[in-house]
């Protein structure tokens, strides 16, 4: 395995794209089946290699591991700089895990330009992995944008009726946010250059010396510099880019359209991984770069997250299209994730990052399941079903397990994340914590209601009577997700322990940066702690 | 770390054995779709609870061998969730309270498993329904045992939600019927409202304990004094003023959870509908075990409620109100299982009266005896339903003792027990409950509470005898075809009935109150067992008063019995006459006070309507997506199409003017 040493992360990241190019250029004349096998083999290998990352990752060590640093455009401070900590590790493994399943789930789907479709998926995987492992902000931005392209085509070419509208909407929404982020990045870059006299987009110092990282830049507080150089505005630009991706209410309306129009694999990746790009962006960049602004914005984000949880659940409840229902449920679940992140404490953050994985698994599986029944019935209207537990008992069982995971039943993965998030949010603001906890009631309501209408009752439609249960390929795909659903539910500690060092590192970093910034400036009353303290004082006497 | 007991690896096997049973069925039938031979299904799924019962007995024997009052066995398997201030082991503890609950759960559970062999015999012949049923039943037992064995709040919650899931699955067991599926969902969602309270209770504890945050019961008991005197400010219009004790708030949150699981006002509505499930399920889950989980939790957290008088009073009064309210609804039901369902709600109310009044061991005593006689009633009604070919309406029964002598006899024992006639078990436990209310000076209006309990006892006797008479006495109202086929069920059904009948008859002697025990030289075994675990109320009631209270209870039961006999045996025309005389009132009662309809109209429908018409159609599709998102897009297009296009006019003069103006502006800017 010496071959892999020092370049494992690069191999994991670029293996899919390399396979994709081979597929596109060299394997042209071969039958479709071979393409599929090649793509599946490559993504499976990527997953296995990422397992090496999982096992070789030293959970006791803070900071980034598997670091690689290569000069790219050194005059501009742009380097190829990758490395992972616990947070990125979990998301990398989630991505590599979902990709082969997605391809396997689409095995029998007949579609135009099958080879291009596979290429786009592989290209997308490299884009996502690249974003998760980037430690150079510019490089991150490249991957962040590159990712849009294959997803745009996946929705726009292989999507449903309104695919072009949905694809353009998806693209434009993300672009608006990213452009502001790009400007903020350049401003940050300028500040860094002013302070250290050297150019670098690297987030942290390269191991063994070199230029200080962007994270060491002192970002002026409001009133200390021109407005566009200060924390609130820079944070706002980053937050908008990430918030659209999450998506946070009210920037969420691209999501139902994109989900519904995307083919199954697109929906799974979109929900499973792409949405996490936003939440990941918050923990990786927005929080440590602008800690004071982040704390000041926390009440606003708490409010939006809470609205997302309750509003997303209520709107999900009244959907007539099962895929749209799952899409809106994502708005609610991601609201939980945002809530935990901005609790800014250990259990909240760890719960949130775990919940990113959980949501990827359970919502990913829900989209896979919806896709399987859509393939059979060519409708997603809940009312078109009814009583299909009778013809499809295995499907009903697996759907039930995944739905329960999404509802947050203890013993399954969703509970662990939600519980930690709520515990973290509650100690910051009991009222928000309480209101968010009510989301668990609504989750049960919308999912069980849909489940009842689809699976229970008499089988009235003749097409439903003839439905064929899942075959072994399909069972395998869902079971592969159900296993970690149980595993995380029963024993989440292997996941949580891998987060400990990174999360406490993040919190520590925020504290020190905050302290440093406040030393040079008149104290700014951090709004979130003020609110928290006020409530706590009001409540406990 | 608080020293909490003697370590052992034994306890994990108690929930694990039923879990293994469920897993075998779940994988074999659920995933592989391979139906197992019936004898094997029976061996696995009935063997599991019996083995769990045996292990419980071993653990119990070991517990009794330990010295001291705070004795307990503990079994910590591994750290389940640990992050920040949240840390919970998958750990079990086995003290006297858990021992009693475990014995009841595995004991009654085993009997009901055996009963189900006969009851579910001809069910779902085509799709492995028999095996599916036992898979759910085993899973339920596992969850229930996790609930009572859990050493911390999180394991308790794991079991708590697990039993809720199994309840959902089993209520909707015959899922081909829309109504059953609806009832299952209703049970789960209503329970979730309670679970919300449970969760908030946990978070309040974590929040207020700060650095000492813990979820472990023994540790909580140790650190609770830190927050026992804290107060919180609440809206001033709430009863008790603007300052509440923190523990009261926490206690009420947990009690909301108990209201859901144990079907108390205002969350009781799911339990009567839960009767849609197969009858053994009603007996096991919705009578003997799961629904008592709320009572168990309150007893488990007795150290919290001891410092929260407001919460304790709320529990006692909620219990009293529920007991009476549900009893009045049981009067007018004709479905044999519905009567029993409302009766269960009412009896659970009694348990909360005792728990709220600080008589925790009386509450557990009633949990035990109720498990015996109510399981017997349900299983007996199941035998009747089976004999009548799935007829549940007592309007089409009557005179069944002719065909079903054994069922009639055991049913009679259960009726005597629940109505509270000595020396049947229900008499002693109900007496303890009523005494605790009478003596609880810390509860406002405790004597009124006692009176409510007494009235409820009379009503209970009335509706139980009414049910008994209408089922087993008089002329049979079934059609001739059905009558020809009525016969006693097989031994797997009758065997458990007889065992439960014996327990219902003599179960009271396990916890015989001192005034009776002294007479015959029998100690209060249950009371002594629970003495170290649960706080004991200090009674200041003389023996004379105790006898008077018991006499009043017997009088109430007799009165109820006589009225029932008069109305349904001696003068069968009376009920119809009363019904026509009190038209609106009896319709109100028959329709269960329209509570379901009111909830539906006030909560469910508005919520769905607002979500659909306001949130989704107006806010989401209209304002956000329509006006803001697509509006922006249209605006940009209009701007580009109507204005920007003139910039691209192709006329050189125009470009020239623009260039000159632009240059001037830049120069002006630089010279500023």
| pLDDT tens-digit map of A129-141 | 999 999 999 999 9
The per-residue pLDDT for A523 is: 46
Q: In terms of CA atoms, which chain A residue is nearest residue B192? A: A441
Over residues B229-282, the pLDDT tens digits come to 888 888 878 887 778 889 999 999 999 999 999 999 889 999 999 998 899 999
- B196–A348 CB contact, under 8 Å: no
Chain B environment of A475 (Cβ under 8 Å): 31
A44 pLDDT above the threshold of 60: yes
Residue B82 in 3-state DSSP? Answer: strand
Structure tokens that stand for B464 in this block: 């139980």
Q: Shortest CB distance from B199 goes to which of A319, A387, A422?
A: A422
Interface residue of A248, A410, A452 to substitute, partner B, most B CBs within 10 Å: A410
Q: Can you give the pTM of this predicted structure?
A: 0.92
- Short-list B140, B193, B136, CA closest to B162: B140
Chain A environment of B624 (Cβ under 8 Å): 250, 252-253
Residue B73 in 3-state DSSP? Answer: strand
Which backbone phi and psi does A87 adopt, to 5 degrees?
Answer: -65, -45
Chain A environment of B78 (Cβ under 8 Å): 491
Residues 276-305 of A with CB under 8 A from B: none
Phi-psi region of B98 (alpha: psi -120 to 50; beta: other; left: phi over 0): alpha
- Short-list B365, B171, B170, B348, CA closest to B268: B348
- Short-list B63, B290, B259, B315, CA closest to B167: B290
B341 near B266, Cβ under 8 Å? no
| Lowest-pLDDT range of A253-262, B245-254, B388-397 | B388-397
Structure tokens that stand for A87 in this block: 């947070």
B628 near A250, Cβ under 8 Å? yes
Instruction: Please tell me the distance in Å from B554's CA to the nearest CA on chain A.
Output: 44
Three-state secondary structure of A259-310: HHHCCHHHHHHHHHHHHHHHHHHHHHHHHHHCHHHHHHHHHHHHHHHHHHHH
Asked if B331 reaches chain A (Cβ–Cβ under 8 Å), the answer is no
Q: Shortest CB distance from A540 goes to which of B158, B202, B230?
A: B230
Instruction: Please tell me the distance in Å from B203's CA to the nearest CA on chain A.
Output: 6
Distance in angstroms (rounded) separating the CA atoms of residues A438 and B114: 40
| pLDDT-above-70 percentage for chain B | 98
Asked if B624 reaches chain A (Cβ–Cβ under 8 Å), the answer is yes
- B83–A430 CB contact, under 8 Å: no
What helix, strand, coil percent values describe chain B, rounded to 5? 75, 5, 20
- Short-list B315, B296, B318, B314, CA closest to B366: B296
Asked if B189 reaches chain A (Cβ–Cβ under 8 Å), the answer is yes
Mean pLDDT of chain A: 89
Structure tokens that stand for A481 in this block: 């997700």
Asked if B116 reaches chain A (Cβ–Cβ under 8 Å), the answer is no
- Short-list A187, A347, A177, CA closest to A252: A177
Residues 176-235 of A with CB under 8 A from B: none
A255 near A144, Cβ under 8 Å? no
B560 near B465, Cβ under 8 Å? yes
The per-residue pLDDT for A534 is: 43
The per-residue pLDDT for A540 is: 42
Split at pLDDT 50, 70, 90, the class of A529 is very low
- Crossing angle of helices B13-25 and B129-149, in 10° steps, is 160
| Lowest-pLDDT range of A380-389, B63-72, B110-119, B600-609 | B63-72
Chain A environment of B206 (Cβ under 8 Å): 423, 426-427
Q: In terms of CA atoms, which chain A residue is nearest residue B90? A: A490
Tell me which residue has tokens 């839960």: B274
Mean pLDDT of A23-39: 87
DSSP A402-423: HHHHHHT-BTBHHHHHHHHHHH
The per-residue pLDDT for B597 is: 86
Instruction: Please tell me the distance in Å from B605's CA to the nearest CA on chain A.
Output: 12
Asked if A314 reaches chain B (Cβ–Cβ under 8 Å), the answer is yes
Chain B environment of A329 (Cβ under 8 Å): none
Distance in angstroms (rounded) separating the CA atoms of residues A441 and A445: 6
The per-residue pLDDT for B596 is: 85
Mean pLDDT of chain B: 88
Over residues B559-581, the pLDDT tens digits come to 999 999 998 888 888 888 888 88
Asked if B395 reaches chain A (Cβ–Cβ under 8 Å), the answer is no
Residues 196-255 of B with CB under 8 A from A: 196, 199-200, 202-204, 206-208, 230-233, 243, 246
Instruction: Please tell me the distance in Å from B227's CA to the nearest CA on chain A.
Output: 10
Over residues B609-656, the pLDDT tens digits come to 888 888 888 888 878 887 787 777 788 777 777 777 777 777 777 777
Asked if A22 reaches chain B (Cβ–Cβ under 8 Å), the answer is no
Distance in angstroms (rounded) separating the CA atoms of residues A353 and B373: 50
B181 near A452, Cβ under 8 Å? yes
Mean pLDDT of A296-321: 93
The ranges assigned to domains in chain B are 2-590, 594-670
B182 pLDDT above the threshold of 50: yes
The per-residue pLDDT for A3 is: 64
The per-residue pLDDT for B124 is: 64
**A-B contacts (CB, under 8 Å):** 175
A296 near A526, Cβ under 8 Å? yes
Q: In terms of CA atoms, which chain A residue is nearest residue B234? A: A539
The per-residue pLDDT for A530 is: 41
Phi-psi region of B123 (alpha: psi -120 to 50; beta: other; left: phi over 0): beta
Over residues A478-523, the pLDDT tens digits come to 999 999 999 999 999 999 999 999 999 899 989 988 888 877 654 4
Over residues B426-475, the pLDDT tens digits come to 999 999 999 999 988 888 888 999 999 999 999 999 999 999 999 998 88
A364 pLDDT above the threshold of 90: yes
Distance in angstroms (rounded) separating the CA atoms of residues B623 and B461: 60
Distance in angstroms (rounded) separating the CA atoms of residues A478 and A470: 10
| Lowest-pLDDT range of A252-266, B281-295, B502-516 | B502-516
- Short-list A148, A395, A119, A97, CA closest to A268: A97
Over residues B316-331, the pLDDT tens digits come to 999 999 999 999 999 8
Mean pLDDT of B4-11: 82
* Whole-angstrom Cα Rg for chain B: 30
Asked if A320 reaches chain B (Cβ–Cβ under 8 Å), the answer is no
Instruction: Please tell me the distance in Å from B140's CA to the nearest CA on chain A.
Output: 14
CB-based contacts of A268, cutoff 8 Å, min separation 6: A98, A101, A102, A105, A364, A367, A368, A371
The per-residue pLDDT for B126 is: 67
A439 pLDDT above the threshold of 60: yes
Residues 547-606 of B with CB under 8 A from A: none
Distance in angstroms (rounded) separating the CA atoms of residues B17 and B24: 11
The per-residue pLDDT for A113 is: 86
Asked if A541 reaches chain B (Cβ–Cβ under 8 Å), the answer is yes
Chain A environment of B82 (Cβ under 8 Å): 493, 496
Split at pLDDT 50, 70, 90, the class of B66 is confident
Asked if B66 reaches chain A (Cβ–Cβ under 8 Å), the answer is no
Mean pLDDT of B183-197: 93
A276 pLDDT above the threshold of 60: yes
B198 pLDDT above the threshold of 80: yes
- Short-list A343, A165, A175, A397, CA closest to A262: A165
| pLDDT-above-90 percentage for chain B | 50
């Amino acid at each position: 395995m010496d071959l892999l040493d020092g370049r494992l992360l690069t191999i994991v990241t670029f293996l899919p794209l390399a396979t994709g190019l081979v597929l596109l250029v060299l394997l042209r004349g071969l039958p479709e089946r071979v393409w599929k096998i090649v793509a599946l083999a490559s993504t499976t290998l990527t997953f296995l290699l990422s397992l090496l990352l999982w096992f070789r990752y030293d959970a006791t060590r803070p900071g980034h591991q598997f670091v690689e640093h290569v000069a790219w455009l050194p005059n501009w401070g742009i380097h190829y700089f990758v490395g992972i900590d616990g947070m990125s590790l979990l998301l990398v493994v989630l991505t590599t895990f979902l990709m082969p399943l997605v391809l396997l789930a689409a095995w029998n789907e007949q579609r135009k330009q099958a080879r291009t479709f596979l290429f786009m998926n592989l290209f997308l995987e490299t884009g996502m992995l690249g974003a998760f492992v980037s430690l150079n902000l510019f490089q991150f931005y490249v991957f962040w944008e590159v990712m849009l392209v294959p997803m745009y085509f996946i929705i726009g070419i292989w999507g449903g009726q309104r695919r072009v509208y949905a694809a353009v909407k998806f693209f434009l929404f993300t672009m608006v946010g990213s452009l502001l982020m790009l400007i903020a990045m350049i401003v940050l870059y300028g500040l860094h250059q002013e302070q250290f006299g050297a150019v670098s987009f690297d987030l942290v110092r390269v191991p063994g010396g070199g230029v200080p990282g962007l994270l060491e830049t002192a970002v002026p507080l409001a009133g200390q510099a021109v407005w566009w150089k200060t924390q609130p505005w820079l944070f706002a630009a980053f937050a908008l880019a990430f918030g659209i991706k999450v998506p946070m209410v009210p920037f969420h309306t691209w999501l139902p359209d994109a989900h519904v129009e995307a083919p199954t694999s697109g929906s799974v990746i979109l929900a499973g991984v792409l949405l996490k790009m936003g939440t990941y962006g918050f923990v990786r960049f927005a929080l440590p770069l602008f800690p004071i602004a982040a704390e000041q914005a926390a009440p606003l984000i708490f409010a939006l997250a809470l609205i997302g949880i309750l509003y997303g659940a209520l709107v999900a409840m009244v959907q007539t299209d099962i895929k749209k229902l799952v899409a809106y449920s994502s708005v609610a679940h991601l609201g939980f994730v945002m809530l935990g992140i901005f609790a800014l404490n250990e259990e909240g953050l760890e719960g949130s990052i775990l919940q990113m994985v959980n949501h990827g698994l359970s919502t990913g599986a829900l989209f896979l399941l919806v896709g399987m029944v859509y393939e059979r019935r060519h409708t997603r209207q809940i009312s078109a079903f009814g009583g299909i537990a009778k013809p499809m008992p295995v499907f009903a069982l697996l759907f039930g397990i995944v739905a329960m995971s999404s509802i947050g039943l203890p013993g399954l993965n969703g509970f662990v994340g939600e519980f930690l998030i709520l515990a973290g949010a509650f100690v910051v603001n009991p009222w928000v914590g309480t209101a968010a906890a009510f989301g668990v009631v609504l989750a049960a309501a919308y999912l069980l209601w849909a489940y009842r209408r689809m699976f229970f009752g008499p089988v009235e439609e003749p097409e439903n009577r003839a439905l064929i249960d899942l075959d072994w390929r399909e069972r395998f795909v869902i079971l592969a997700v159900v296993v970690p659903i149980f595993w995380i539910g029963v024993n989440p500690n292997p996941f949580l322990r891998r987060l400990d060092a990174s999360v406490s590192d993040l919190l520590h970093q925020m504290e020190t940066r905050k302290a440093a910034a406040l030393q040079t400036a008149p104290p700014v009353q951090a709004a979130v702690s003020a609110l928290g303290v006020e409530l706590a004082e009001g409540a406990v006497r | 770390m608080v020293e909490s007991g003697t370590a052992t690896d034994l306890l994990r096997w108690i929930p694990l054995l039923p879990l293994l049973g469920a897993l075998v069925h779940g994988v074999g039938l659920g995933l592989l779709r391979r139906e197992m031979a019936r004898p094997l299904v029976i061996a696995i799924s009935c063997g599991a609870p019996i083995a769990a019962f045996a292990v419980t007995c071993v653990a119990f024997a070991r517990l009794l061998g330990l010295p001291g009052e705070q004795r307990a066995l503990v079994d910590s398997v591994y750290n389940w969730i640990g992050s920040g201030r949240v840390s919970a082991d998958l750990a079990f503890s086995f003290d006297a309270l858990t021992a009693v609950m475990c014995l009841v759960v595995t004991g009654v559970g085993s009997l009901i498993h055996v009963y189900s062999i006969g009851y579910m015999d001809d069910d779902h012949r085509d799709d492995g329904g028999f095996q599916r049923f036992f898979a759910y039943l085993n899973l339920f037992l596992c969850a229930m045992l996790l609930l009572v064995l859990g050493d911390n709040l999180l394991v308790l919650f794991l079991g708590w939600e697990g039993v809720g899931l199994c309840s959902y699955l089993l209520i909707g067991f015959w899922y081909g019927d829309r109504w059953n599926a609806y009832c299952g969902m209703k049970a789960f969602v209503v329970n979730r409202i309670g679970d919300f309270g449970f969760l908030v209770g946990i978070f309040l504890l974590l929040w207020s304990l700060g650095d000492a945050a813990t979820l472990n019961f023994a540790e909580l008991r140790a650190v609770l004094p830190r927050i026992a005197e804290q107060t919180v400010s609440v809206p001033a219009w709430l009863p008790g003023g603007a300052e509440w004790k923190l523990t009261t708030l926490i206690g009420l949150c947990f009690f909301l959870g108990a209201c859901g699981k144990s079907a108390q006002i205002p969350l009781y509505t799911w339990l009567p509908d839960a009767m849609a499930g197969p009858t053994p399920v009603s007996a096991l889950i919705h009578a003997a075990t799961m629904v008592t989980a709320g009572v168990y939790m309150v007893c488990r957290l007795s150290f919290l409620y001891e410092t929260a008088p407001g919460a304790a009073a709320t529990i006692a009064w909620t219990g009293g109100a529920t007991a009476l309210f549900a009893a009045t609804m049981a009067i007018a039901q004709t479905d044999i299982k519905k009567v029993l369902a409302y009766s269960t709600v009412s009896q659970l109310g009694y348990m909360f009266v005792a728990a709220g009044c600080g008589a925790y061991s009386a509450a557990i005593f009633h949990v035990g005896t109720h498990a015996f006689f109510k399981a017997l009633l349900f299983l007996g009604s199941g035998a009747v339903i089976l004999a009548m070919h799935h007829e549940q309406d007592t309007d089409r029964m009557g005179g069944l003792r002719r065909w079903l002598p054994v069922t009639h006899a055991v049913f009679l024992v259960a009726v005597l027990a629940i109505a509270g006639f000595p020396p049947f078990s229900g008499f002693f436990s109900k007496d303890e409950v009523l005494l605790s209310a009478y003596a609880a000076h810390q509860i406002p209006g405790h004597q009124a509470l006692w009176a409510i309990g007494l009235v409820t006892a009379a009503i209970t006797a009335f509706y139980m005898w009414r049910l008994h008479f209408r089922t087993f006495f008089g002329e049979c109202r079934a059609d001739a075809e059905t009558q020809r086929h009525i016969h006693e069920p097989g031994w797997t059904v009758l065997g458990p009935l007889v065992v439960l009948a014996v327990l219902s008859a003599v179960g009271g002697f396990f916890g015989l109150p001192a005034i009776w025990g002294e007479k015959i030289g029998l100690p209060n075994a249950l009371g002594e067992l629970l003495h170290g675990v649960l706080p004991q109320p200090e009674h200041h009631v003389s023996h004379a008063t105790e006898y008077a209270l018991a006499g009043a209870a017997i009088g109430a039961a007799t009165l109820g019995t006589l009225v029932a006999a008069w109305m349904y045996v001696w003068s069968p025309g009376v009920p119809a006459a009363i019904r026509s005389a009190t038209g609106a009132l009896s319709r109100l009662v028959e329709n269960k006070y329209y509570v379901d309809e009111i909830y539906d109209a006030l909560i469910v429908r508005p919520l769905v309507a607002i979500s659909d018409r306001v949130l989704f159609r107006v806010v989401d599709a209209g304002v956000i997506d329509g006006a803001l998102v697509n509006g922006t897009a249209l605006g940009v297009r209009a701007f580009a199409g109507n204005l920007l296009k003139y910039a691209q006019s192709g006329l050189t003069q125009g470009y020239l003017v623009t260039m000159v103006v632009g240059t001037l502006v830049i120069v002006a800017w630089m010279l500023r």
